[in-house]
Amino acid sequence: MIHRPRINRWTESRRNLIHDPSIKSSLVQPYFVVDGVNIREEIQGMPKIYRESLDNLLDTVKSDYEAGIRAIMLFGVVSEDLKDDYANQAMNELSHLHKAVFELKKIYNDDLVIMTDVCLCTATAHGHCGIVANGEIENDESVEILAKIALSHAKAGADYVCASDMMDGRIISIRKTLEASGFSSTGILAYSVKYASSFYGPFRNAASSSPKTGDRKSHQMDIRSGYKEAIFESKLDQEEGADIIMIKPGLPYLDVVKTVSDEVEKPVAVYNVSGEYAMVMNSAIDLSQRKSMVIEILNSFKRSGADIIVTYHAREALAQGWIK
């Protein structure tokens, strides 16, 4: 089956994430997981966000959970020596990322929605989101690998696999692969409308995923493109079986969030990306001013129609009691 509307209803935590109208229930906190032990380094340009090994990640998730976080998004950071041309480490079921998903699922079971990033860029030596041949990113070969990565995350216990690559046809391929292996309750979050934005800088440092040469403009959307392409991409992913449609970045594209959320039937997510977070955190303001800014930003996402908000502000907003 391509469409399984039950996926978004599968657990109470998924239902709350999607349908509870409060901002608090809409938040998803991202994490960067590295291999090793006792590692916890703050990311350059992103105060209070860390690259962490599994032992520390478990502590961080625990304190976030206690503050009220009920949905998380995990990014696996791959060490340089394990990168290759085909992103093999990204589908290695024994990797630290897979272990993290497995351990968190064991601890929280269905009380926490676990999302994982599915892309090649963190595990390819050249840093591109796909297989490169003759200087071009090969679409269909890349899609095959993406589906394998997604399946490996599903096996580890992910609630939603999140395709952030922007290759054509990857959602249907991931859906068919999950179906063929019996993963009929694993959701797919599609980064349907993802722009070739200059707001991803701090993330690429954090995930060590910058392309060594060139850029991502042959697959991520042109920043000048209009609503028609955004609607087209969203509907395509919806037809291919996506369970959640995401727009990224957030603040520069609130109009797109509004337009897409008016057009699609599936729940809509917005990604308040690293550069947006850095702008707020690195402006010279005190905590009470930051509180006001974060509340204002989160409300803007809700007003524009986002059901789900992926944001690095989630941790602080809940820990400080800014959002109730």
The rounded distance, in Å, linking the Cα atoms of 302 and 254 is 10
- Using CB under 6 A as the criterion, what x/- string covers residues 156-175 for binding ligand PBG? --------x-----------
* 119 forms part of the interface with ligand PBG (CB under 6 A): yes
Contact call for residue 273 and ligand PBG (CB under 6 A): yes
- Binding status of residue 56 toward ligand PBG by CB under 6 A: no
Smallest distance from ligand PBG to CB 119, Å = 4
From its phi and psi, is residue 25 left (phi > 0), alpha (psi between -120 and 50) or beta? alpha
Comparing CB distances to ligand PBG, the nearer of 18 and 310 is 310
> What pairs with residue 248 in β-bridges?
194
**Rounded least distance, CB 273 to ligand PBG, Å:** 4
Closer CB to ligand PBG, 209 or 259, in the complex: 209
Applying CB under 6 A, among 28, 97, 114, 121 the residue interacting with ligand PBG is 121
Residue 18 or 118: the one with the smaller Cβ distance to ligand PBG is: 118
List alpha helices for 48-169, DSSP H: 54-67, 96-108, 139-156
Angle between helices 139-156 and 170-180 (to 10 degrees): 40
Residues contacting 309, CB < 8 A, separation 6+: 23, 26, 27, 28, 250, 269, 270, 272, 298, 301, 302
Q: Is 15 in the site for ligand PBG (CB under 6 A)?
A: no
User: How many residues would you count in the chain?
Assistant: 324
Tokens 């609630």 sit on residue: 159
| Tokens, residue 304 | 């524009």
Near ligand PBG by CB under 6 A, which window of 32-40, 108-116, 201-209, 238-246?
A: 201-209
Q: How far apart are CA 228 and CA 248, in angstroms?
A: 16
Closest distance of CB 129 from ligand PBG, Å: 5
| 200 sits near ligand PBG (criterion: CB under 6 A) | yes
Q: Which residues pair with 268 in a beta bridge?
A: 245
Question: Judged by CB under 6 A, does residue 247 bind ligand PBG?
Answer: no
204 in contact with ligand PBG (CB under 6 A): yes
> Of 80-88, 90-98, 103-111, 115-123, which part binds ligand PBG (CB under 6 A)?
115-123
Task: Report the nearest approach of ligand PBG to the CB of residue 166 (Å).
Answer: 8
Catalytic residues: 194, 248
Which positions ≥6 away from 178 have C-beta within 8 Å? Answer: 150, 151, 154, 161, 184, 186, 188
CB 319 to ligand PBG: min, Å:
20
Structure tokens at 153: 């995350």
Label the pairing between strands 71-76 and 27-33: parallel
Neighbours of 74 (CB within 10 A): 24
Nearer CB in complex with ligand PBG: 204/302? 204
Q: Which is nearer to ligand PBG, 10 or 310 (CB)?
A: 310
CB 110 within 8 A of CB 67: no
Binding segment for ligand PBG (CB under 6 A), chosen from 117-125, 151-159, 181-189, 293-301, is: 117-125
Supply the minimum distance, in Å, between the C-beta of residue 204 and ligand PBG.
6
117 touching ligand PBG, by CB under 6 A: yes
Binding site for ligand PBG (CB under 6 A): 117, 119, 121, 129, 164, 200, 203-204, 209, 216, 273-274
